[in-house]
């Protein structure tokens, strides 16, 4: 009896990534605060660059994204040859796993790290190893404890999603120094633009001075281009060469390249997005704490808000209450954080609306 094709061992054990919900049935007005999207939207210049290519969609893009790589190199002072662009940093993280992991290998990520990491690791038939976090923060010593002779990769989201915490650059260097030379340290710096800490670095210097560190970045957050799926990696030359051998020949679309170039060059719009976050992130943290909620301090564009276990006061109850009012936050059961919701920083109206709704929820629960 024919049964059809069978996936490789382990593939069906992978839990699919489930994004945050984006709609609420019956709600007249919805504030989507579940996906860490920019409340300011894209740069007007990026949107214009995208629209300008409407009559060129029959053409293939530049397969090497040279213009975008040159723009990024100029913006950050990098060697363009060591930049690889992808359809979101998600693609690049998956390509790194495919290139450097295989059966019998192990890859480490922290307890509340991005859910794509175990998916990418298992897809390459490698073993994911979870390092405990301390106070919702990745810890160097816990990661080092997990290193074995089979360790080939460490994924570090810095800052981390969904906790909003970060690892200081001195600790990142200490982690790197403890890893075997054949182990690749992947620094996922998707939220780097938002960080306002003197002891933070995204990883550019480490990449430039070592052969086994990669930094990935995205246009989905501060640049407001999540819908275009655009990201980039800064790599040692040998890693860049490897990724270019296995990525798709036209993995970044023509409009995405044009919009990305315009976004990189529009530094005023990026600064506006950062300034907005600088205003509303501490405001929401302060106001939520004043309501009696436990909030994990964040350096990203979102907050991890914790709830109790009493009936009527749980994260599940809060989510239902907020959703009924068109306020969509991110449930975190899949991350092992069923007692928390992740709240993206939104526009002023959305931020004030979610605060008012949570105040009402807590009053009713009391």
Average pLDDT over residues 71-89: 98
3-class DSSP state of 106: strand
Query: Does residue 5 fall inside a structural domain?
Result: no
Q: Which domain holds residue 49?
A: 44-265
Q: What's the angle, vertex CA 272, arms to CA 266 and CA 273, rounded to 5?
A: 95
Q: Contact at 8 Å (CB) between 256 and 228? A: yes
pLDDT at 366: 75
Question: Do 131 and 207 sit in the same domain of this protein?
Answer: yes
Query: Does residue 15 fall inside a structural domain?
Result: no
Angstrom distance (rounded) from CA 296 to CA 165: 8
pLDDT at 22: 65
Question: Do 132 and 226 sit in the same domain of this protein?
Answer: yes
Q: How far does Cα 87 stand from its chain's mean position?
A: 13
Other Cβ atoms within 10 Å of 123 Cβ, number? 16
Please name which of 30, 38, 61 lies closest in space to residue 269, comparing C-alpha atoms.
38
Angstrom distance (rounded) from CA 171 to CA 185: 13
Backbone φ and ψ of 190, nearest 5°:
-60, -25
Query: Does residue 10 fall inside a structural domain?
Result: no
3-class DSSP state of 293: coil
Question: Do 216 and 279 sit in the same domain of this protein?
Answer: no
Q: How far does Cα 118 stand from its chain's mean position?
A: 14
Q: Contact at 8 Å (CB) between 57 and 257? A: no
Per-residue pLDDT tens digits for 320-348: 999 999 999 999 999 999 999 999 999 99
pLDDT at 146: 98
Backbone φ and ψ of 37, nearest 5°:
-80, 155
Question: Do 64 and 154 sit in the same domain of this protein?
Answer: yes
Confidence band for 70, pLDDT divided at 50, 70 and 90: very high
pLDDT at 352: 98
Query: Does residue 7 fall inside a structural domain?
Result: no
Structure tokens at 316: 């599940």
Query: Does residue 352 fall inside a structural domain?
Result: yes
**Side-chain-facing half-sphere of 165: CA atoms under 13 Å:** 18
Give the pTM: 0.95
Question: Do 248 and 301 sit in the same domain of this protein?
Answer: no
Please name which of 193, 192, 185, 243 lies closest in space to residue 214, comparing C-alpha atoms.
185
Please name which of 272, 273, 268, 271 lies closest in space to residue 221, comparing C-alpha atoms.
273
Question: Do 253 and 347 sit in the same domain of this protein?
Answer: no
Please name which of 97, 73, 74, 102 lies closest in space to residue 85, comparing C-alpha atoms.
73
- DSSP E strands in the chain: the ranges are 31-32, 83-86, 106-110, 127-131, 133-134, 137-138, 151-157, 184-188, 213-218, 231-234, 294-296, 302-306, 327-328, 330-331, 340-344
Angstrom distance (rounded) from CA 330 to CA 334: 11
Question: Do 153 and 61 sit in the same domain of this protein?
Answer: yes
Number of domains in the chain: 2
Average pLDDT over residues 266-286: 98
30 Cβ contact partners less than 8 Å away, ≥ 6 residues apart: 23, 24, 326, 327, 328
Of 265, 294, 319, the residue at which a domain comes to its end is 265
Question: Do 313 and 241 sit in the same domain of this protein?
Answer: no
- Minimum mean pLDDT among 12-26, 67-81, 286-300: which range? 12-26
Confidence band for 26, pLDDT divided at 50, 70 and 90: low
Query: Does residue 331 fall inside a structural domain?
Result: yes
Q: Contact at 8 Å (CB) between 252 and 68? A: yes
3-class DSSP state of 340: strand
Domain containing residue 156: CATH number: 3.40.640.10
Per-residue pLDDT tens digits for 222-257: 999 999 999 999 999 999 999 999 999 999 999 999
The answer on pLDDT for 1 being more than 70 is no
Question: Do 291 and 192 sit in the same domain of this protein?
Answer: no
3-class DSSP state of 241: helix
Question: Do 202 and 134 sit in the same domain of this protein?
Answer: yes
Domain containing residue 27: CATH number: 3.90.1150.10
- The angle that helices 44-51 and 267-290 make with each other, rounded to 10 degrees, is 130
Of 265, 284, 317, the residue at which a domain comes to its end is 265
Query: Does residue 225 fall inside a structural domain?
Result: yes
The answer on pLDDT for 28 being more than 70 is no
Q: Using omega within 30 degrees of 0 as the cis cutoff, is the peptide bond preceding 307 cis?
A: no
Per-residue pLDDT tens digits for 93-117: 999 999 999 999 999 999 999 999 9
Question: Do 221 and 299 sit in the same domain of this protein?
Answer: no
Share of the chain above pLDDT 70, in %: 98
Question: Do 88 and 222 sit in the same domain of this protein?
Answer: yes
- Minimum mean pLDDT among 8-22, 151-165, 189-203, 271-285: which range? 8-22
Confidence band for 15, pLDDT divided at 50, 70 and 90: confident
Q: What is the mean pLDDT of the chain?
A: 95
pLDDT at 3: 77
Angstrom distance (rounded) from CA 78 to CA 201: 15
The answer on pLDDT for 311 being more than 70 is yes
Of 242, 265, 288, the residue at which a domain comes to its end is 265
């Amino acid at each position: 009896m024919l049964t059809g094709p069978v996936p490789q061992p382990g593939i069906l054990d992978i839990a699919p990534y489930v994004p945050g919900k984006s709609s609420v049935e019956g709600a007249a007005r919805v504030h989507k605060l579940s996906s860490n999207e920019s409340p300011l939207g894209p740069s007007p210049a990026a949107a214009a660059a995208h629209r300008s290519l409407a009559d060129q969609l029959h053409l293939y893009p530049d397969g090497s994204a040279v213009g975008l790589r040159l723009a990024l190199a100029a913006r950050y002072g990098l060697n363009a040859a060591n930049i690889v662009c992808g359809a979101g940093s998600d693609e690049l993280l998956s390509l790194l796993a495919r290139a450097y992991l295989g059966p019998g290998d192990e890859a480490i990520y922290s307890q509340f790290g991005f859910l794509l990491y175990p998916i990418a690791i298992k897809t390459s038939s490698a073993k994911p190893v979870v390092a405990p976090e301390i106070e919702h923060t990745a810890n160097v010593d816990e990661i080092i404890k997990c290193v074995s002779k089979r360790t080939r990769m460490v994924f570090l989201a810095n800052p981390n999603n969904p906790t909003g915490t970060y690892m200081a650059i001195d600790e990142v260097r200490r982690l790197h120094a403890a890893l075997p030379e054949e182990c690749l340290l992947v620094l996922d710096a998707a939220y780097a633009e938002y960080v306002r800490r003197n002891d933070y670095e995204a990883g550019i210097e480490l990449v430039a001075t070592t052969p086994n560190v990669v930094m990935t970045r995205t246009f989905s957050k501060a640049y407001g281009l999540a819908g275009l799926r655009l990201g980039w990696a800064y790599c040692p030359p040998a890693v860049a060469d490897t990724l270019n051998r296995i990525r798709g020949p036209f993995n970044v679309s023509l409009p995405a390249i044009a919009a990305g170039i315009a976004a990189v060059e529009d530094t005023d719009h990026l600064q506006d997005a950062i300034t907005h976050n600088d205003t509303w992130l501490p405001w929401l943290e302060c106001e939520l704490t004043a309501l009696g909620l436990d909030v994990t301090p964040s350096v990203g564009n979102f907050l991890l808000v914790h709830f109790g276990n009493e009936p009527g006061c749980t994260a599940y109850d809060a989510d239902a209450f907020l959703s009924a009012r068109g306020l969509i936050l991110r449930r975190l059961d899949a991350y092992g954080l069923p007692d928390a919701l992740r709240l993206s920083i939104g526009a002023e109206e959305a931020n004030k609306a979610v605060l008012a709704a949570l105040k009402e929820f807590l009053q009713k629960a009391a």
